[in-house]
Structure 1
Amino acid sequence: MKSILCSFFLLLAVSLSGFAQTADEKAVAAAVEKLKTAMVNPDKNNLNNIALPELSYGHSNGLIENKATFMENLLSGKSDFVKIDLTDQTIKVVGNTALVRHTLTAETKNGGVPGTTKLSILLIWQKQQGQWKLLARQAVKV
């Protein structure tokens, strides 16, 4: 009985270790949350700090924005996220690059017109001077 119990706990420990996040994965997850917050409550400094100057921000309709346009559209209300929910998130860190995939479900009010959207998102983050910064984003409709 002891050997069965020991085997069970060993199997449980090995299984759970696969779900543990590394420090970088936790930092990337925190950066994703900062981005989400900055998109719902746009602030010029927060948006500027979260994204790299080379940002390529792709929409599901094929439109691609640079950093300046991305920020302007959020700050002006042209792109207005009222609420964002992220699900099914995965994070893969490779060196100083992180790939994040998730499903984004949002309530929007783009240009003052209420709406909803559900998108599959790929975010590419780059670690620079100890900080994870958004380099690219691409969305596709679910």
Structure 2
Amino acid sequence: MIKKLIFALSFLMLISISAQRKDDTRMVTETAEKLRLAMISGEKSALESLILPELTYGHSGGHINDAKEFVEKLVTKKSDFLTIEITNQRVQIIGNTAIVRHHFYATTADLGKAPGDVTLDILLVWAKVKNDWKLLARQAVKAEKKK
């Protein structure tokens, strides 16, 4: 009888963990979409609500921004995304951390320059703070050219 009870409790716990992981994956995906939209709009409050103060934001050219620089560049249109398209997104949840990888294609008009195109592969690290997911780190690399 005890073995059956332990098995049943273990099974219920496994189902609960699986359901939580699916919910976290959905929440991270939704939060990443909010970040995409906030990067296009350049709305300061939206950007700040999605990031941690400890944010480290790495660009494909090697420059690294902190949270303040990240927000400032988007708000002032020093970095101006007209469009951002995300494809091939993969989310991996490990405890209270989420690793998100995706392909990033954007049209830019930084400081009013003629539109340019950016094609990158992105790594995002999200941390769960209470019930919200906040961006802790981002690293961009130039997308590998297909042969």
Q: Does 1:108 align with 2:108?
A: yes
Structure 1: which amino acid aligns with 2:68? A
Structure 1 partner of 2:137 = 136
Structure 2 partner of 1:78 = 78
Separation in structure 2 between the aligned mates of residue 58 and residue 118 of structure 1, nearest angstrom: 15
TM (norm. structure 2) is: 0.82
TM-aligned CA deviation for residue 134 of structure 1 = 0.1
* Number of residues of Structure 1 aligned to a counterpart in Structure 2: 122
Structure 1 partner of 2:123 = 122
TM (norm. structure 1) is: 0.85
Separation in structure 1 between the aligned mates of residue 104 and residue 44 of structure 2, nearest angstrom: 22
Structure 2 partner of 1:25 = 25
Unaligned runs of 5+ in 2: 1-20
Percent identity between the two aligned chains: 47
Separation in structure 2 between the aligned mates of residue 106 and residue 40 of structure 1, nearest angstrom: 10
- 1:62 is paired with a residue of what secondary structure? coil
Separation in structure 2 between the aligned mates of residue 77 and residue 89 of structure 1, nearest angstrom: 26
Separation in structure 1 between the aligned mates of residue 59 and residue 142 of structure 2, nearest angstrom: 9
RMSD (Å) for aligned C-alpha atoms: 0.8
TM-aligned CA deviation for residue 69 of structure 1 = 0.3
TM-aligned CA deviation for residue 70 of structure 1 = 0.3
Separation in structure 1 between the aligned mates of residue 101 and residue 37 of structure 2, nearest angstrom: 17
Structure 1 partner of 2:50 = 50
